[in-house]
Structure 1
Amino acid sequence: MNTYRIAVIPGDGIGREVVPPTLAVLDRLADHGGFRLAYDSFDWSCERFVRTGAMMPEDGLDQIAGHDAILLGAVGWPGVPDHVSLWGLLIPIRRRFRQYVNLRPIRVMPGLPGPLRDADGVDLVVVRENVEGEYSEIGGRLNRGFPDELAVQEAVFTRAGVTRVVDYAFDLAATRRGRLVSATKSNGIIHTMPFWDEIVAERAARQPEVTWRQEHIDALAAKLVLDPASFDVIVGSNLFGDILSDLAAAIAGSIGVAPAANLNPEREFPSMFEPVHGSAPDIAGQGVANPVGMLWSAAMMLDHLGEPDSAEALMTAIAAALGAGDALTPDLGGTATTDDLAAAIASAIEPPTNLTRGTVR
């Protein structure tokens, strides 16, 4: 029996509310699938930052380096600047563990028509470069507090970094419907985006069966709203992929259902799985957070760990529960609680067993 060791970081806000029922569902799937999940819980969060001055301890990355995967609830809280929580936890994890692919699947689920009238059939994936690009540490500020104060931020695009994420996107498209769109802005960004475009064109030769094109980010955003069902795989830089994936999640009906995977495809380091919705302080503590994004992220984790049947069983249960419409959370137009919707999803997993909370040590 395979045992997978999972680093669990509930984080802040609704992250602490969606993680426990997710662990319960994962335990249920493990029982069905004949494998074990061992959880180690870490209190790394904005609350910890306020208490200690750090999001995680100095040796935090060493503590989780030996795990098979990382499951993250959310980070961020009023009073702690977003750049503190991001650069104090998420980005160090992504970069230390070479999680250079941020994978964002977008699907219109049964019972969730979305805000667009023609969103039926939307099933796409945004592949976002995750460790370089526009989100670099290079730059600085000068003349702080004076009228001529300035800030400089450098984007970093390496041939190795662009090549590996583009190859991943083309390989993924080849397993899906064989269509890829590359997000660019080479008509306005004179150095990095033509460089990106050149590498995309070079790497396309590896997958001649994949039909591809490039689109300027502004036009691409408009087309994603006007005809989302026409897209299959979209690959973009760190900034462009970030923007497009959140836009696509809204097209699917709610950012509360959107998952994300931060992948080290070579599996030399643990990958991290997290919902897109953030800590949502406005609803934290009310017990009404949508657990689907967290559960879908967990399904992606199972697939990455080599348990595709269990991952598919969870996705089937999510679709069944949402399609039934009996336990929808307020963001989906219902009145159900987090635990109500999680229980409905758990009960849709066959064969039925009692929903019990996952054990965290």
Structure 2
Amino acid sequence: MYPSTSQKYRLLEMVALCGEFPADQLTRLIPSPSYGEKLITELKAQKLLRTHYRDHLRGYRLTGRAKQMLLAQNPERFRDFLTGNTETNQVRSEVTRRLRLYQKAETYLTLLSAGIPFFADQKPDIFREGREAGILSMGNLPLFYSSREFKHIGPEATKIRNSRSMGVLLAPHCAYALYNTGDHVLKWEYRTEVRLNAFLQHYLQDFPYTGHPKVRAILTGKDMDTAYQLLTSTGGYKKSLFVADTSYEHFHYLPNTTEGETLLKLLVRPRLMKQLDQLLLSDLGSRQPNLPIDHDGVDASGNPAVLAYDFDLHRINRFNTGLNVYGRKGVMICFDFQIPCLKRYLTADIRFSSIDLSKFRKGFLHEP
């Protein structure tokens, strides 16, 4: 057995979590490519890991020996993933199934890097019949619960079984329904996602939130090119694909990359966002109540400015539309990695105020 803090253990537990771990994501877990390959070679030699290559997809799967070892070491953490006829235990070879597992791995890596717990032994089991109030407090958040865990509550979960959501991310100020759209526009059924929104508001009311919680959506994807696809999507020919509709009041997008990990750290920490907002707005004038455009402040020339670093699809679109309708110039404040996508999408006369991501990490988050 390996210590739970070792790199080998972390790799094995991520493979267990998603069923098949995509080889091209290894450097997100182990930054050094040479060291990562060394660990893979050693785990294969110990008959704990094997490579599955088919249809131009290369991934890593656990051996039976590895499953037994992990279950013996931490049964609470791995029972749901490594027992029974689950897709992570009985991994199929169809491309669509494997890609779904790969998307899980991508998003779980983003959650892991953002410091958000998601394993069963790291959090109280709130999605079960007969749950006890008081086992979860705001001090425990953020936490992530997968859509698989919804099934523990019984028949009520059948109402949302067709949702495309990966699960719910509980933050102190709101609950986020979490989606992974990959490198394309995901399939979308408006009524199903509305039911998920309503379910979360009802189920989480007064526990852990006070009253009905605000529910937002976070869409994760491959990169910022995917964000452009989502911004311009009209639902496809049969209206079966994603469109930024009214199922959620806010749709935030972040890529499953190091840039997206930083943005997620902000989205689940409202106090940190408030500090950043105050800093970014310190050089601007206050909001103008008579200005019929959604904005956060005005620049020296009286042009409306909006904070768009949280990449809320609805708000970005409203700001762009408002400027066009009223023939105004505007200012958009966002991270540098978001600007190319926004320039490609926006049609209004907008000046960008860029947040240098590297400097932000060092100066604001105090990361190396």
**Larger relative contact order, structure 1 or 2 (CA cutoff 8 Å, min sep 6):** 1
TM beyond 0.5: no
TM-score (normalised: structure 1) = 0.28
